[in-house]
Structure 1
Amino acid sequence: MTTDIRDIPEAHVDRALDLAHLAFHATAGDATRKRQRELLLKCERVGAYDHEEIVGFAAAHRLGLSVPGGELPVAELDFVSVAPTHRRRGVLTAMMGELLGRCAAGHRPLACLWASEEAIYGRFGFGPATETYAVEINTTRPLALRVTPDPRPLRLIAPADTFTVLAPLYETGRARRGGRLSRDEAWWRRAARTDDEAGDDAKDGPPRVVVLGAKDAPAAGYVVYRVGEKGTVTVDELEAADAPAAAALWSYLASIDLTRKVQAWTVAPDDPLLHFAADRAQVRVTGQWPAMWLRLVDVERALTARSWAAPVDLVLDVRDATLPANAGCFRLTAGPSGAAYGPTGDPADLTLDVRDLSACYLGGVLVRRLVQAGLVEEHTPGAARLLDAALETEHLPLAGEGT
């Protein structure tokens, strides 16, 4: 089947949204649709047209992504959908090829997405680069901890103040962990909507924001949460400077009156809570899954822009069926002082697909585990372990919700 891939003009945005809701079996109320439309008007929109009917749709938000040692431009893909009448006809392949090509031409070395169907995106070079845990705390008894919580005072702030107070703390947290998207003031305003403003988007009551630290002193962390009718505290986001600060915030959540449990859906696998909780029967991991899927669009720029924990000098044979400029044998020479990456005629130490290189890029996936899984071929014994040591980060990457 031949489809026409072209930009979706503003006049067609509502039609594109109708397709996305159809593909995802979603019903959107007025508040949700208004929010989605506002987002789409600010981002790149690609459609697959069968004559004048939109049969495929994908959007790309222009953002920044924290990577080890800094930040890089990223295209966050969203609303990726194909009409049920046009599946398995190459529509998605055509749209993804167009979007990734535009990313490369527009000097965006990374692309990311949250996959509704994880089996789809590997063939386009995306790999699961971050892992997230769901955690549940039984709060019918006091939270038992092995560390002393930070003694600084806790204070509630108005949702309208979240940008001023929380954004600097969030940026500090981004510098510690890879995989976190940039946020502008509009993002914080959307996150702080009251029930009246959120309409059908409201869940579990209005957001409550608690900050650790006196008003006239630097804050050590914050938590955004909601309390549901059945006594469940749902954590939207918790940011803490260190373990005592985290302990203070988790202790607060566990002590809220008339509640029975705390649940958090985006917890890093190395979150200190999982270590300083004195009773792991009280603090349980209830789920684990890949969160953000990452794609290196420009492998050279991505590898030379991040920091490296240890020296490494290896030849990588990279496979990339969608973006051939990335494919071939390249020598990676990197270390704490910087990195260089360029084509070479030397034999490869490792052969790997770009999806697997993308999965390992933020330091959350070990190359040697992929060798053991038969996904990466190690030609030089120990090469995977050397690359792992160079890719290592102090904190595991973490990705919360997308735009």
Structure 2
Amino acid sequence: MTEPLPRLGEWNSIDELLESQDKPLARTLSWAARSPFYAARFASAVPPATREELAALAPTTKQDLRDAYPFGLLAVPKEKLATYHESSGTAGQPTPSYYTEEDWTDLAERFARKHVGITPSDTLLVRTPYALLLTGHLAHAAARLRGATVVPADNRSLATPCSRVIRALHDLKVTLTWSMPTECLLWAAGARAAGYDPGTDFPALRALFVGGEPLTRARRERIARTWNARVVEEYGSTETGSLAGECPQGRLHLWADRALFEVFDPATGAFSAEGAGQLVVTTLYREAMPLVRYNLEDTVEVSHRHCPCGWHLPTVRVLGRTAFGHPVRGRTVTQHRLEELVFGLPDADEVLFWRARAEPDVLRVQIEAAPDRRRGAADRLTRAVGAELGVPVRVEALPPGSIVPSDVLGAMPDVVKPRSLFGPDEDWSKALLYQ
């Protein structure tokens, strides 16, 4: 791939952008035909090359990727690969994903499209896995592309417990972070346990980049107020890299200059450019493992309506698993709706952590709340759930440390290298294990 990648501002409307997809689409389909999987699926000497021919193809599913493990989707000589990854899915089967060095240029540039900017003066703490998943490596590459300093904090590893993250955030004057939204709440509790005020004792922190789980408006606003920093959302996957980023107006935009997007309605089997349904992706600049009509199975809402940011890109609302719920007395309770109510409680209640169980006849909710606010917080949430969801509810307000144990926030375990020789009074059952 030698041609320049598209840049924001090179098109003046969504229609103009969509027209520009035709050339890279034809090339992507020819690349895909090199892989064993798509060569068999296309089942002809001439691969499809147009949108019309694309529309006749069956979607690529997650199970297709699993069945093609490990290299059934490889479209380049193996010597050209730069990295190999696997998704964090829970199906029990690996979902492979791989990229060339040129593919990585595209990956890093997409992630670096943060409207707050990533600059050489920034220090970015990466708190997602440096493992088979793409996420940690992607943020690291994007930060280095922009000249920033990277703090590779990994995710809940022995080497980087929450307490060490808090120390790094404070002492290294971290300006940007990348994590799941839940991590930001864990850090806030950990900072308070260490004697810090997250809103005032981390003045260098200017933005929290978050992704990896659905984020409600109420939780987003709570995180921003708690840390006195902007919250910037990102959407993507290990199979695709970054798919959408947030504009200055606070809306998520699909990177439609780098991928072709469709919306699939599983109820009707119809595909469309806009509307609600499952997001389907055709990559446009990925050579190692082109994906053609890949169904992410994430529930989304896509719109081509104008956005004042001027990016001229489709907007997307990612619902993910929030579209699914559990019945209580004939009504469906979703995490999305319940989370809005939990984080709608006053900040003074200090509710950061909660859990709920939807039983056939009652919704049971537990929250951690400030000691002198527990009864009031439980009463307020009980009324809100009854009014908004219309289901019987029992709310129990617990002391801090009941849902997220205190040792998760404050422990600083030693990381000991494995050994085989022990003294007479030592526990040799831990031989060869990290402790």
* TM score, norm. by length of structure 1: 0.29
Q: Which has the higher contact order (CA 8 A, sep 6+)?
A: 1
- Please identify which structure carries the higher strand content: 1
* TM score, norm. by length of structure 2: 0.28
